[in-house]
Structure 1
Amino acid sequence: MTITQLQYVLAVAEHKNFTLAAEKCFVTQPTLSMQIQKIEEELNVLIFDRSKKPIQLTDIGQKIVNQAKNIVIEADRIKDIVEHQKGFIGGEFRLGIIPTIMPTLLPMFLNNFIKKYPKIRLIIEELNTDDILLRLKNGHLDAAIAATPLEDEKIKEIVLYYEPFVAYIPENYVISHKTEIEVSDLNLDDILLLQDGHCFRDGILNLCKSQSVSTKNTFQLESGSFETLIKLVDEGLGTTLLPYLHTLDLKEKDQSKLRHFKEPKPAREVSLIYPKNELKIHIIDALRTTISGVVKGAIAFQNVQIISPIQKK
């Protein structure tokens, strides 16, 4: 049995389809099927129940897949050890970033990183937190940047910075005269939210968890864009909350509508997250060092109250 054969088994287990698995492994379907058949013959067991659609793992097949994951990870670790010993920082590195962090943080560090580490081929995907966690566990991402803590025992988290929530309030709103606000000043009925699936939305709901939502609103909107929410606030249709870094790009006339919270400021914790197997840890360390260096001057809040990105029931 070979590492390549085990990789084919893992691909079929994930995609539940021989043809799709072959495409992902960049081999023909007959080649992949033949190699899996060889390992089944060697072990004298069936790994997959081919009579079911989609293809399912047999009971022994599930145990084999669990062990195969460990073997493939440890094989990859050998490459890591050699590259680290040689001082080589390069190769492909797949990074996921959640949508409410990508537009503000990525431009701050990307240029510095690719100049400093030209041998790394950085592949960046914008994904929500659930997709990021799934891909990290399946080995389709090497690391990610997300709001934490995520309370996942299979994931490690390195805090990069704390980012306060900032209220965006229309003119003549009931609290627009205040220079600093408290959570109790907010009315959840008036807050325009990002659509379901965004952890920033869940953070706001956790922040305002003591409030109930009225059903008397004349409209309900959930958007995937802060820009849309800002424009609706400008039209007097409600209020919203923004991450601090997003407020730095607002026009001067819009900056006057921002209201910061009193200390300890409610904030999200932004971290670099990665699987506990710590593959490519030398690249993860390089990424952490680069990001920490550029955000230090832009965002340095310590007296904060961390709001969970996981919606509390």
Structure 2
Amino acid sequence: MSTKLFEPITFQNMTLKNRIVMSPMCMYSCDEQDGKVTNWHTTHYTSRAVGQVGLIIVEASAVHPQGRISMEDLGIWNDEQVKGLSKLVDLVHEQDSKIGIQLAHAGRKAIVEGPIYSSSPVPYKEGMGVPLEMTVDQIKQTVEDFRQAARRSRESGFDVIEIHGAHGYLINQFLSPLINQRTDQYGGTKEKRFRILREIITAVKSEWVGPIFVRISANDYNTSGYTVEDYIDYAKWMKDLGVDLIDCSSGGVVPAKINPYPGYQVQYAEKLREEASIATGAVGMITSPLHAEEILQNGRADLVFLARELLRDPYWSRRAAQELNVEMQPPKQYERGW
């Protein structure tokens, strides 16, 4: 039986050599003022490319300085940040891996100096700041911020853009009825709550030629919130807009008790793949190569996203190839020891 994990897959103009994806994970390693790539980033991401990860998605990169998850986040809000991002892209490409960037705005979960913003003036939890409700003009400017970030992503040479619509950050704050209490064109109905994401996807596509992924939180873990069933419509709308893949995570929009186990979110990728006929990515405590292979062999997802396991083991792809009896071509510098 041939393996799916090491089978190439193509999205538009991008072909991945395998279906192993490094999930975006914040490194909190930037200077607090400039959001630029540092030596840590080039070492961190390039090592996973040396380890033969098919697609590396760079951490949440803020489209506006007030949209940072922390003051140490990477940024893509000005043209001065392009030089470092371009260098990072070139280093990863040298190892025959593809590289994407996650465009993000933290909304009410931003930990920065000055005001924070959300769909509605509802704090994340007790003790955190009350966000300002975005005006329509501010929403329009945020959409423009994503458009400009897409332009910079193109100029930096990235292969894919992932829009961060999960984990309780700004887009998720508009999508979820738990937070979005608006009664204007951006709230009140499911279609209106989706409007900001629709506008962001459209704006990104105006500057970007290539695959677009969207990360979602397919379960709010709250009886008044959304479940994966509610995201079927969102997934269909995203597909109609030209989104290539939905990266299926969960939680984060409100504090919740989650009981994770290996593959606990795969059900969401499987459900949306089946019901919306769109490619999906599975993520969540996937550590075993055999587990990853099972997910793909059974058509439960199209890509497998690994997060903390790739922090522990940059050469996970090599281990997976050994366990699945796949011959992998190492970097020539490592042939004597691979």
TM-score by length of 2: 0.23
Between Structure 1 and Structure 2, the one with more strand by share is 1
TM-score by length of 1: 0.24
Between Structure 1 and Structure 2, the one with more helix by share is 1
